[in-house]
Amino acid sequence: MPEKIISYQPDFSQSPRVDQVGIIERASRFTKRSIKNETKMNGLLLALNMIDLTTLEGKDSEGKVKQMCYKAMHLHDAFEGLPTVAAVCVYPSMVKTAKLALGDSGVKVASVSTAFPSGQAPRDIKIRDTKFAVQQGADEIDMVISRGKFLEGEYNFVFDEIAAIKEACGNARLKVILETGELGTFDKVRKASDIAMHAGADFIKTSTGKISPAATMPVTLVMLEAIRDFYYKTGKMIGMKPAGGISKSKLALHYLVMLNETLGESWMNNQWFRFGASSLANDVLMQVMKAKTGVYQGKDYFAID
Partner 1 sequence: MATTKNNTLKLKFDSARKYAPALESKSAATIDARYDLFINGKFEKPQSKKYFSTINPATEEKLSEIADANAADVDKAVKAARAASDKYWKKMPASERGKYIFRIARMIQERARELAVIETLDGGKPIRESRDFDVPTAANHFFYYAGWTDKLAYAFPGKDPQPLGVAGQIIPWNFPLLMAAWKIAPALATGNTVVLKPAENTSLTALKLAEIIREADLPPGVVNIITGAGSTGAAIVNHPDINKIAFTGSTDVGKIIQRAIAGTNKKATLELGGKAANIIFDDAPIDQAVEGVINGIFFNQGHVCCAGSRLYVQESVYKEVVRKLKDRLETLIVGDPMDKNTDIGAINSKEQLNTINKYLKIGQKEGAEMYQANVEIPSKGFFCRPTIFTNVAQSNRIAQEEIFGPVLTIQTFRTDDEVIEKANNTPYGLSAGVWTDKGSKIFNLTTKLRAGVVWANTFNQFDPTSPFGGYKESGYGREGGLHGLAPYLNLG
- Candidates 33, 66, 149, 290: give the one binding partner 1 (CB under 8 A): 33
- Candidates 263, 277, 284, 285: give the one binding partner 1 (CB under 8 A): 263
Q: Report how far Cα 230 is from the mean position of its chain's Cα atoms.
A: 18
Q: Output the CA torsion sign for 223, 228, 230, 231.
A: positive
Residue 94 or 263 having the CB closest to partner 1: 263
Residue 270 CA to residue 252 CA, distance in Å, equals 14
Residue 53 or 263 having the CB closest to partner 1: 263
- Cα dist. 136→89, 93, 110, 139 in Å? 14, 8, 11, 10
Candidates 169, 132, 138; CA nearest to 52 is 138
Residues 91-110 that bind partner 1 (CB under 8 A): none
Build a one-symbol-per-residue string for 212-251: x at contacts with partner 1 by CB under 8 A, - elsewhere. Answer: -------------x--x--xxxxxx---------------
The answer to whether residues 59 and 68 touch, using CB atoms and an 8 Å cutoff, is no
Residue 143 CA to residue 35 CA, distance in Å, equals 34
The answer to whether residues 143 and 176 touch, using CB atoms and an 8 Å cutoff, is yes
Minimum distance from residue 27 beta carbon to partner 1 (Å): 10
Residue 42 CA to residue 64 CA, distance in Å, equals 30
Minimum distance from residue 101 beta carbon to partner 1 (Å): 35
Active site residue 149: no
Minimum distance from residue 2 beta carbon to partner 1 (Å): 11
Residues 3-32 that bind partner 1 (CB under 8 A): 3-6, 16-19, 21-23, 25-26, 32
The answer to whether residues 243 and 275 touch, using CB atoms and an 8 Å cutoff, is yes
- Candidates 31, 93, 247, 260: give the one binding partner 1 (CB under 8 A): 260
The yes or no reply on residue 261 touching partner 1 (CB under 8 A) is yes
Active site residue 40: no
Residue 216 CA to residue 55 CA, distance in Å, equals 20
- Candidates 9, 12, 40, 45: give the one binding partner 1 (CB under 8 A): 40
Residue 116 or 159 having the CB closest to partner 1: 159
In this structure, which amino acid lies at residue 19?
D
* Torsion angle defined by CA atoms of residues 15, 272, 47 and 213, in that order, rounded to the nearest 10 degrees: -30
- Candidates 120, 135, 266, 279: give the one binding partner 1 (CB under 8 A): 266
Residue 23 or 110 having the CB closest to partner 1: 23
Residue 39 or 247 having the CB closest to partner 1: 39
Residue 46 or 56 having the CB closest to partner 1: 46
Residue 196 CA to residue 206 CA, distance in Å, equals 12
Minimum distance from residue 180 beta carbon to partner 1 (Å): 17
Active site residue 142: yes
Residue 206 CA to residue 256 CA, distance in Å, equals 16
Find the catalytic residue in 142, 194, 202, 283. 142
Residues with catalytic annotation?
142, 205, 241
Which residues lie near partner 1 (CB under 8 A)? 3-6, 16-19, 21-23, 25-26, 32-40, 225, 228, 231-236, 260-261, 263-266, 268
